[in-house]
Amino acid sequence: MDSQISLTSCTACSTKLPSHATTCPACDYPVNTPDTPEAAHATQKEYKLIQLLGVVVTAVGVVAALADSPIAAAIAVIVGIGTYLTGLVGARDNFDD
Protein backbone atom coordinates (compact mmCIF):
# COMPACT_ATOMS: atom_id res chain seq x y z
CA MET A 1 0.00 0.00 0.00
CA ASP A 2 1.27 3.42 -0.90
CA SER A 3 -0.83 5.53 1.47
CA GLN A 4 0.95 8.07 3.57
CA ILE A 5 -0.27 9.48 6.85
CA SER A 6 0.36 13.18 6.97
CA LEU A 7 2.07 14.28 10.14
CA THR A 8 1.87 17.47 12.06
CA SER A 9 3.65 18.70 15.17
CA CYS A 10 2.24 19.54 18.57
CA THR A 11 2.55 23.27 19.17
CA ALA A 12 3.25 22.71 22.86
CA CYS A 13 5.94 20.00 22.84
CA SER A 14 6.81 19.47 19.12
CA THR A 15 5.92 15.77 19.16
CA LYS A 16 5.09 14.41 15.71
CA LEU A 17 1.47 13.31 15.43
CA PRO A 18 -0.93 12.20 12.74
CA SER A 19 -2.98 14.98 11.21
CA HIS A 20 -6.22 13.42 12.51
CA ALA A 21 -5.12 13.53 16.18
CA THR A 22 -7.23 15.66 18.51
CA THR A 23 -4.80 15.72 21.43
CA CYS A 24 -1.09 15.18 21.74
CA PRO A 25 -0.34 11.76 23.28
CA ALA A 26 2.81 13.13 24.91
CA CYS A 27 1.47 16.25 26.65
CA ASP A 28 -2.33 16.02 26.18
CA TYR A 29 -2.41 19.44 24.48
CA PRO A 30 -5.44 19.87 22.18
CA VAL A 31 -4.54 19.98 18.49
CA ASN A 32 -6.56 20.23 15.30
CA THR A 33 -9.42 22.07 16.88
CA PRO A 34 -12.30 22.59 14.49
CA ASP A 35 -11.55 25.79 12.65
CA THR A 36 -13.60 25.03 9.60
CA PRO A 37 -16.20 27.61 8.56
CA GLU A 38 -18.95 25.10 9.36
CA ALA A 39 -17.70 24.66 12.93
CA ALA A 40 -17.31 28.40 13.39
CA HIS A 41 -20.81 28.98 12.04
CA ALA A 42 -22.26 26.37 14.42
CA THR A 43 -20.48 27.95 17.38
CA GLN A 44 -21.65 31.41 16.36
CA LYS A 45 -25.23 30.11 16.21
CA GLU A 46 -24.82 28.76 19.74
CA TYR A 47 -23.82 32.19 21.04
CA LYS A 48 -26.79 33.76 19.26
CA LEU A 49 -29.07 31.22 20.93
CA ILE A 50 -27.56 32.10 24.31
CA GLN A 51 -28.26 35.78 23.60
CA LEU A 52 -31.82 34.96 22.55
CA LEU A 53 -32.33 32.96 25.74
CA GLY A 54 -31.14 35.98 27.72
CA VAL A 55 -33.64 38.24 25.97
CA VAL A 56 -36.48 35.78 26.61
CA VAL A 57 -35.64 35.41 30.31
CA THR A 58 -35.38 39.20 30.65
CA ALA A 59 -38.80 39.55 28.99
CA VAL A 60 -40.20 37.04 31.48
CA GLY A 61 -38.79 39.25 34.23
CA VAL A 62 -40.54 42.29 32.81
CA VAL A 63 -43.82 40.37 32.66
CA ALA A 64 -43.31 39.23 36.24
CA ALA A 65 -42.74 42.85 37.27
CA LEU A 66 -45.99 43.87 35.60
CA ALA A 67 -47.73 41.05 37.48
CA ASP A 68 -46.57 42.48 40.83
CA SER A 69 -44.02 39.76 41.55
CA PRO A 70 -40.91 41.81 42.35
CA ILE A 71 -38.66 39.00 43.59
CA ALA A 72 -39.29 36.79 40.56
CA ALA A 73 -38.93 39.83 38.31
CA ALA A 74 -35.59 40.83 39.81
CA ILE A 75 -34.20 37.29 39.58
CA ALA A 76 -35.38 36.82 35.98
CA VAL A 77 -34.04 40.19 34.84
CA ILE A 78 -30.65 39.62 36.49
CA VAL A 79 -30.33 36.08 35.09
CA GLY A 80 -31.58 37.22 31.66
CA ILE A 81 -29.15 40.12 31.41
CA GLY A 82 -26.31 37.90 32.64
CA THR A 83 -27.14 35.24 30.06
CA TYR A 84 -27.37 37.81 27.27
CA LEU A 85 -24.02 39.36 28.23
CA THR A 86 -22.44 35.89 28.40
CA GLY A 87 -23.52 35.31 24.80
CA LEU A 88 -22.16 38.68 23.72
CA VAL A 89 -18.81 38.24 25.44
CA GLY A 90 -18.45 34.68 24.16
CA ALA A 91 -19.17 35.75 20.61
CA ARG A 92 -16.80 38.71 20.87
CA ASP A 93 -13.97 36.65 22.35
CA ASN A 94 -14.29 33.87 19.81
CA PHE A 95 -15.09 35.75 16.62
CA ASP A 96 -13.72 39.27 16.97
CA ASP A 97 -10.74 39.88 14.68
Beta strands 16-18 and 7-9: pairing type? antiparallel
Residue ranges of domains in the chain: 1-33, 34-97
pLDDT at 36: 52
Return the higher-pLDDT residue of 5 and 11: 11
Query: What 8-state DSSP symbol labels residue 23?
Result: B
What's the maximum distance between 2 C-alpha atoms anywhere in the chain? 75
Single pTM value for the model: 0.58
Check: CB of residue 64 under 8 Å from CB of residue 71: no
Band (3; pLDDT cuts 50, 70, 90): low
